[in-house]
Structure 1
Amino acid sequence: MVYTVTFNPSLDYIVNVSDFKLGQVNRTEKEVMFPGGKGINVSIVLKNLGMESTILGFTAGFTGEEIQRRVKEMGCVEKLIPIANGYSRINLKLRSNEESEINGMGPEIGKEDIDKLYQMLDTLKAGDVLVLAGSIPASMPSTMYSDIMEYLQNKEVMIAVDATKDLLVNVLPFHPFVIKPNNYELGEIFNVTLKDKKDVIVYAKKLQEQGARNVLVSMAGDGAVLVAEDGSVYESEAPKGKVVNSVGAGDSMVAGFLYGYLTTQNYEIAFKNGVATGSASAFSENLATKEEVEAILNTL
């Protein structure tokens, strides 16, 4: 079973305004709302590809109830833990002459809430997959991801981590199955500017030396790279298409990679699935569907 953890889920409210003006009343031309958060996105895409998963994390207030309602409506299984106080966040994404975002804070998550999550993690068994994705609220310890991995290190759980900076680096000693920085985040870790795939491969291998089993690096319009634990290295150009919505593309790549690997045990197929799924989400208003992914796979 695949489990995804989203510590700070959201309702993503995306509005289109033709010519946004500060200090004036602006009216939307189009608006959509989705349940958001990186782990939730991974679960939704896995469901679209035909693979079940369970969503873990925290929700609060009426916005939290709406997140739960929407993920269930999409056919996902959720075991989100309700928090007594506060509200799950609403993230506003404004599309106009420029794209802007205002992200909410989310509720304060206490020790008793974290303890409930650990009780759920106790049910994981060897061969299960756990996806730790996204940022964590300020109320939680900065070592949260590595704490979870240390807690589970004797369970033979395959763990995927999609995070930045210290959140990502701190998990490396616990040998995550796969990590997915983008090329900018990878360069930030080592305080260097990565110019091309050759540079990306060099520094991806450094993360592997520090403990990661597989390093999957997304490079937006420049494609992607996988440095796999069996010593193989795969590169791909970005599939051709018009980028409609970049939100969730990286999460979709993680979902596609896991789907490809869990169904075939083949890293090349997993990599191509990751590239195709990330691109399918980028080329669509919504997260990737199986049909959209298969259409792009046929071009790789």
Structure 2
Amino acid sequence: MAKILCICLSSTIQRTINFNNIRLEKVNRSTSYRMDASGKALNSARVLSQLEKDCVQVICPVGEKNKDLFVELAERDNLKIDYVTIPGFTRECWTLLDNNAGTTTEMVVGEPDLDFDIVSCEEKILDILKTKICEFDAVLFAGSKPKCFSEHIVSDIAKASVSSNKVFLADYQGLELLNTLKNVIPSIIKINEEEFVTTFNLFQNATSYSDDELKKEIQKKSVELNNIVVVTRGHLPTFASNKGELVECPVEKVKAVNTTACGDSFSAGFLYEYVNTGDFKSALKKGTWCAARNAELETPGAVR
């Protein structure tokens, strides 16, 4: 059994709320709700734990004021967590499901910036990583960092993972990804189309671009970095390149209940299959399958 370490700097308490019909500027009464420990890497970890028991562990910061609730929710899903306590609250995210319209609306409630010893917090996270990493075959780092964290923490985590010769999947974008690439090359970059185009400043002078043009850029980046680049595109086929080997993978058509965490579920399935088999194409299919199963369920980051 391959073991995977998931790292999340933006831990979240996710409340998923059902409505028969959401009306703006009206009083809306829910029919039900659920709460989950969340954040991109937490969602991926939940999928991994459902694919194979005891194959995953999580490192994350947790706000001290609602730490007990977060830990309780994680334990309910059998998620093993090494956490670092920070001042304030773990942020919350509310997902509004309109059952009649079949839509998903996500509302992320960021916590205010706090003045605390972030250096000590980052050192604790890195110490846990460096102590634990020898027990794992791969590292999945997903999501953005809170503003209070340093500019170099993400690339520090990436460097520690890659230098330990672990398969490292980077599921993040923008400056954090660019800073990472100045130091180390992730084994796998998993990113959506908008993030890929924006991060690498592509097609800036064009009003539109074709699928073929996008494929060429993905292939070019994969050759340049000598790694795997996976670009998910929602309901459209996924484009991916393994050191220049370009593959187009169709998505499954499903009746969606909650599309939150479909990308996180894809990352989990892809990495799980890749570290267990080394098969790039099979990994794409597994990631696609996980994303489809997640969309059919209410829980964010789930395949059953």
Give the TM-score range, shorter chain.
0.7 to 0.9
Q: Is the CA contact (8 Å cut-off) linking 1:176 and 1:212 kept in structure 2?
A: no
**Identity of matched residues, %:** 22
Counterpart residue identity of residue 202, structure 1: K
Q: CA RMSD in A?
A: 2.3
1:27 partner SS: coil
Q: Can you list the C-alpha shifts for 1:78-119, whole angstroms capped at 9, x where unaligned?
A: 111122x20101112223466543312247471111110111
Residue in 2 that maps onto 1:298: none
Of 173, 178, 185, the match for 2:195: 185
Residue in 1 that maps onto 2:93: 91
Q: Can you list the C-alpha shifts for 1:197-248, whole angstroms capped at 9, x where unaligned?
A: 423321212332442610111111112122013x422212221211221111
Residue in 2 that maps onto 1:17: 19
Alignment of 1:246-261 (within 5 A): 246-261=259-274
Q: Is the CA contact (8 Å cut-off) linking 1:5 and 1:56 kept in structure 2?
A: yes
User: Which consecutive residues of structure 1, in runs of 5 or more, have no partner in the other structure?
Assistant: 293-300
Q: Does 1:274 align with 2:287?
A: yes
TM-score w.r.t. the length of structure 2 is 0.86
1:4 partner SS: strand
Residue in 2 that maps onto 1:201: 215
The structural deviation recorded for 1:40 is 0.4
Range moving further from structure 2, 119-128 or 246-255? 119-128
1:180 partner SS: strand
Q: Does 1:130 align with 2:143?
A: no
Counterpart residue identity of residue 103, structure 1: V
C-alpha distance in structure 1 between counterparts of 2:176 and 2:24, whole Å: 36
Alignment of 1:49-68 (within 5 A): 49-50=51-52, 52-68=55-71
Structure of greater relative contact order (alpha carbons < 8 Å, 6+ residues apart): 2
1:141 partner SS: coil
Residue in 2 that maps onto 1:264: 277
Check 1:178–1:233 CA distance in 2 against 1; reply closer, same or farther (3 A cut).
Answer: same
Q: Is the CA contact (8 Å cut-off) linking 2:219 and 2:245 kept in structure 1?
A: no
Counterpart residue identity of residue 192, structure 2: N
Q: Can you list the C-alpha shifts for 1:53-92, whole angstroms capped at 9, x where unaligned?
A: 1110100134332221122221121111122x20101112
C-alpha distance in structure 1 between counterparts of 2:135 and 2:20, whole Å: 51
Q: Is the CA contact (8 Å cut-off) linking 2:193 and 2:232 kept in structure 1?
A: yes
The structural deviation recorded for 1:146 is 1.4
Of 166, 171, 179, the match for 2:180: 171
C-alpha distance in structure 1 between counterparts of 2:52 and 2:21, whole Å: 40
Q: Is the CA contact (8 Å cut-off) linking 2:130 and 2:160 kept in structure 1?
A: no
Counterpart residue identity of residue 194, structure 2: Y
C-alpha distance in structure 2 between counterparts of 1:153 and 1:259, whole Å: 17
Range moving further from structure 2, 242-251 or 168-177? 168-177
Check 1:278–1:22 CA distance in 2 against 1; reply closer, same or farther (3 A cut).
Answer: closer
Q: Is the CA contact (8 Å cut-off) linking 1:183 and 1:219 kept in structure 2?
A: yes
Range moving further from structure 2, 278-287 or 267-276? 278-287
TM-score w.r.t. the length of structure 1 is 0.87
Q: Is the CA contact (8 Å cut-off) linking 1:178 and 1:212 kept in structure 2?
A: no
Q: Can you list the C-alpha shifts for 1:122-161, whole angstroms capped at 9, x where unaligned?
A: 1223963111100110101233221222344432122111
Q: Does 1:119 align with 2:127?
A: yes
Check 1:90–1:100 CA distance in 2 against 1; reply closer, same or farther (3 A cut).
Answer: same
C-alpha distance in structure 1 between counterparts of 2:258 and 2:214, whole Å: 25
